[in-house]
Amino acid sequence: MTEFWESSFKDKQAMWGLDPADSVFAVAEFFKKKELKEVLIPGYGYGRNAKVFSDLGLNVTGIEISETAIQLAKDHYGDQINVFHGSVSEMPFDDKKYDGIFCYALIHLLNEEERRQLIQDCYDQLAPEGYMVFTAISSSSPNYGQGEELSKDRFKTSHGVNLFFYDSETVQAAFLDYGLVDAEEVTEPGEIVEGKPYQVFWKIVCRKEEEIDGNR
């Protein structure tokens, strides 16, 4: 995984452009409305989405597997955001509790055990009464079923990327025990233009209840 993303960022640089994903703005505004202060972004990339949160005055910490992506973020946005270099499978990188965690288009790249572990690790670093939001590709997306089928709802694309496509049942199964409060499908980009590609994602919102005697 490290080699794949390092090679991708070296070759394609800012491959998704410098504008944030459309769906990020609503999440950042939601965090701001909830008066969240400390935000963790696993799968930081080159910082295009993180900037939306920092521009609203939230303190952002990132986790990114590619050194090249981290350097790209510094080149484009400066080095004011602390980014841990490493895989999300190595979480936690610090003992801090974050009141907001945002994980954009990452979880569906992982296998079943890795997906389960990422949710658990994020939940473990979430402060009581904090929120974590995941965006995960939906089986309603037009690219569902394309490529080599690896297992149910999981396909290997022509670019060598493995994608697990969520539906409402798999969202419920994966997140219900982690404070699931909302799940809705959103398009990326937000406005679909005829003839241009788009994808459908689940925006999954979880809230951690106040802990009692160290238990959730």
Q: In what order do the strands lie in the sheet with 199-207?
A: 82-85, 59-64, 38-42, 98-104, 126-137, 199-207, 180-188
CB-based contact 129:99 (threshold 8 Å): yes
Omega before 128 within 30 of 0, i.e. cis: no
Report which of 86, 61, 75, 127 is spatially closest to residue 1, judged by C-alpha positions: 86
Q: Residue 44: left (phi > 0), alpha (psi -120 to 50), or beta? A: alpha
Q: Where do the H-state alpha helices sit in 112-191?
A: 112-125, 168-175
pLDDT at 144: 96
Residue 77, Cα to own-chain centre: how many angstroms? 19
CB-based contact 108:137 (threshold 8 Å): yes
pLDDT at 198: 93
Report which of 129, 118, 169 is spatially closest to residue 35, judged by C-alpha positions: 129
Q: What single-letter DSSP state applies at residue 197?
A: -
pLDDT at 94: 97
Listed as ranges, residues in the chain with pLDDT below 50 are 213-214, 216
What is the chain's alpha carbon radius of gyration, rounded to the nearest angstrom? Answer: 17
Q: How large is the angle between the packed helices 112-125 and 168-175, nearest 10 degrees?
A: 50
pLDDT at 213: 46
pLDDT at 17: 64
Burial class (CB in 10 A: 0-12, 13-18, 19+), 77: middle
